[in-house]
Amino acid sequence: MCWRCQELFQTETIMSASRGTPVEGDVVICVGCGALSVYERGGVKVRRPNPLEEADLISDPDVVSAARAAHAEWARRTGQRPLPGMGAL
């Protein structure tokens, strides 16, 4: 579940570093709001990335563009203003 918008992740709504079952360390971009999450051990729960992981994630243009697109869609759908920065973290 997304730590920000509480949307449940489903296989068709996540972007994962590995295909199939998520494993610890896999990154999820919430299509509901664009937030980035990292899978914890067991690949069941997710958490917000720590600052080190965030810095690593936003150095990847693919991650940034996907997160931005999802966040823009979230802002449009909910009528809320986009969050500062890239809105994804």
Residues of the shown chain interacting with Zn ion in the complex, contacts defined by CB under 5 A = 2, 4-5, 7, 30, 32-33, 35
Q: Which is nearer to Zn ion, 21 or 78 (CB)?
A: 78
End-to-end C-alpha distance for the chain, whole angstroms = 15
| Least distance in angstroms from the C-beta of 37 to Zn ion | 8
* Dist. CA 57–CA 28, nearest whole Å: 11
Q: Which is nearer to Zn ion, 32 or 87 (CB)?
A: 32
Q: Which is nearer to Zn ion, 27 or 30 (CB)?
A: 30
| Least distance in angstroms from the C-beta of 34 to Zn ion | 7
| Least distance in angstroms from the C-beta of 69 to Zn ion | 13
Please list, residue by residue across 44-78, b when 16 or more beta carbons sit within 10 angstroms of its beta carbon and e when fewer do.
eebeebeeebeeebbeeeebbebbbebbeebbeee
